[in-house]
A and B are shown apart, each in its own frame.
Chain A
Amino acid sequence: MNNSEFYIGWQPQAPERLAKHSQSIVIILFLLIAGVGTSLALLQKRFSTARFEFGQLTEVKGIYQSFPVPALKVFTGNDAFGNSSFITMPLVGYGKSGAEGVIAQLEKNYRFSFDNHEITVKGTLLYSDGKTLLQIDQHDHPLVKVREAPVYGRKATIAELGTVKLTGEVLDPKCYFGVMKPGHGKPHRDCAIRCIEGGMSPVFYVRNKNGEANYYLLLDEAGTKMNSELKDYIAEPVWLEARAVQYDDWIVLYVRRGSIRRTGGLSWFKVKDGDISCGKPNGSLE
């Protein structure tokens, strides 16, 4: 820079060569911004098609069952043999909480347990990948109707599937099946921990050998909630051993005590989506 080229911001006008240089810098910065913005935006992993019908309340009628997780059995019609078919819609609460608190409050008001009673509730649906859940929030006054006497008297179709060893990821179902994108994996870990600590029923997500996703409900050996034991193993690849039992359209894993362990390592990029959270299952149910 020669003597005439010095310029300081409070002077009215920059010398021409310096102004040109600054213009080139600005152009380079715009190109940098465009390049970085385009590649980062385009190369994000695809978001799932999960839906949370935010702000939209739907009335759902079904039989309430508190086991294995608080859920509604919703009648969906008769199959070819005339048997009624049901889907199981796990219930979740508002924000990062399970549905048990809301149900317990309602049961207290009505002074009887809703288990196996037909109830009609209004709540917010969330669904993805063949699974549907319902959020019930006490601010929405969710209970529309409850039949006092147990109806149908229907028992779930239960099938013992034996012992399984699986690698997968512990999810909070509310975020994964609807509310958040991404609703699993490392970025979502803290939130999943908060949801599961808040009473949400944990779900185990496994990809089978064909790359298809399978989802399981998790309980401990004794069939009770194991939310707090799972805290350190959420949202990352873990291995576990469990007794698998099918209850209608959900499989419950009764996790063997102390069997759960971390399998994932550090990774700076993943070759395949399937390897992200699950690795290869050691045993597969389907």
Chain B
Amino acid sequence: MSASYTAVGWNRQKKIYDWVIAGLCTAYLTLFALLTLIFNDQVTLETLIIRSTSTLAVLLLHIILAIGPLCRLNNKCLPLLYNRRHLGVTMFSMALIHGVFSLFQFHALGNVNPLVSLFISNTNYSSLPAFPFQALGFFALFIFFVMAVTSHDFWLHNLSPGIWKTLHMFVYLAYFLVVMHVMLGVIQYENNPVLVIMIFTGMAALTVLHLRAAFREHRTDSQQFSKQLEGFVCVCDVQDIENGRAKIFCIDKERIAVYRHEDRMYAIHNVCKHQGGPLGEGKIIDGCITCPWHGYQYLPQNGQSPPPFKEKVSTYDVKLIENKVWLNPIPFAEGTEREGALIKN
């Protein structure tokens, strides 16, 4: 979809998504501020801002990290993924407010530049209890910053999806830095274990979700196909695949989506050119295979995005012998026309 980055535009779902994000953030900040002002009224405005935005950012970070595995486990969660970028940018904005206020509060008006002070004030890197936790927050914020500014599809195309994806995997490093920032920071001061319990629960939930999603993918990927014939592999029965839908098969470590469209079966590489979405979990809409993540489209017969878009994926040969679907795992060059296999009734 490189021809136009506004192709997807500001549609109804995005608007609803953004309203929900705004509602969640407003609700959290208002609730946190009101309860603190009522029950702990000696608070200063700076601390209120620092704490409400930081805790909200961490909560949003957990939600963001849960969306990926949730969608792999249950595709009804896919609407959460569609506009995850905005959730990410919102999380970054909250963390930025927290970071900037902290930098002012704890480092400004001193005898050195605040950014220098951040690194030279506490230098006890060898002690865990005394560890300079603020530096950890700074590096996490830096990663979130790079991710937020490169989150637009413009960067995805300019950096190439591979580099972009690697860059965005740093979110896990940032998550680890944030956890340590909290554990070695405010938790060393607070009396109450609630924040510790929450952080551990969050970490446990994310670990379980990621492991379950990985396990499920592993199960699909480790499916063995015993019957082979002239380079073709027998993968399933014709009626296993619904019209307009696909099944994914992993052969020689490559995932291939076999689609049924009208009276033919087609096969294309399963990995979407946008952000690697699983094309085999999509559906044919208006004659195009539609990626379930953000809706990029490809023609089943040649793996090309319809003009003016320029994305292309590899295609494969399929044939039907009696009631069985046979797939040749050797890819054709991206965008190569294949006629598919005719389904005889």
Contact = CB atoms under 8 A, between A and B. Distances in A.
Interface of A: 1-3, 5-14, 17-18, 21-22, 25-26, 29-30, 32-34, 36-50, 94-97, 180-182, 185-191, 193-195, 197-198, 232, 236, 262, 264-273, 276
Nearest to A6: B283
Contacts of A48: 42
Nearest to B13: A9
A33 B79 contact: no
Given A8-B285, A33-B28, A198-B111, A186 B47 contact: no
A34 B187 CA distance: 21
Interface of B: 8-9, 11-14, 17, 20, 23-24, 27-28, 31-33, 35-36, 39-40, 42-44, 46-47, 51-52, 55-56, 59, 63, 75-80, 82-83, 105-112, 117-118, 121-124, 127-130, 132-134, 183-196, 198, 242-245, 282-283, 285, 290-292, 294-295
B42 A186 contact: no
A94 B108 CA distance: 11
Given A47-B44, A94-B109, 15 more contacts: A3-B242, A8-B292, A10-B8, A10-B9, A22-B76, A40-B194, A41-B35, A45-B189, A46-B40, A180-B105, A182-B189, A189-B121, A197-B110, A266-B129, A268-B187
9 contacts: A8-B290, A33-B24, A34-B27, A37-B35, A41-B52, A191-B106, A194-B106, A269-B187, A270-B190
A42 B59 contact: no
Contacts of B290: 6, 8
Contacts of B40: 41, 44, 46-47
Output the residue of B13, B33, B185 with the most chain A CB within 10 A. Answer: B13
7 closest pairs, A vs B, by CB?
Answer: A95-B109, A9-B13, A41-B35, A186-B188, A8-B295, A96-B110, A6-B283
Contacts of A12: 12
Contact of A29 (B24, B107, B292): B24
A50 B42 CA distance: 8
Output the residue of A2, A42, A190, A194 with the most chain B CB within 10 A. Answer: A190
A167 to B, nearest CB: 14
Contact of A36 (B39, B112, B129, B198): B198
Output the residue of A50, A187, A264 with the most chain B CB within 10 A. Answer: A187
B185 A190 contact: no
A45 B295 contact: no
A271 to B, nearest CB: 8
Contacts of B27: 30, 33-34, 37
B189 A3 contact: no
Contact of A268 (B11, B32, B117, B193): B193
A234 to B, nearest CB: 8
A32 B59 contact: yes
Contact of A190 (B12, B35, B111, B122): B122
A44 to B, nearest CB: 6
A190 B132 contact: yes
A194 B105 CA distance: 11
A84 to B, nearest CB: 34
A1 B78 CA distance: 11
A11 B288 CA distance: 14
B79 A41 contact: no
A211 B299 CA distance: 75
Contacts of B12: 12-13
Contact of B188 (A36, A266, A271): A266
Nearest to B193: A269
Nearest to A97: B111
Nearest to B44: A181
Contacts of B82: 8-9
Contacts of A2: 242
Contacts of B79: 7, 9, 14, 18, 22
Output the residue of B40, B244, B295 with the most chain A CB within 10 A. Answer: B40
Contact of B191 (A1, A188, A270): A270
A49 B42 contact: yes
Contact of B295 (A10, A32, A185, A193): A10
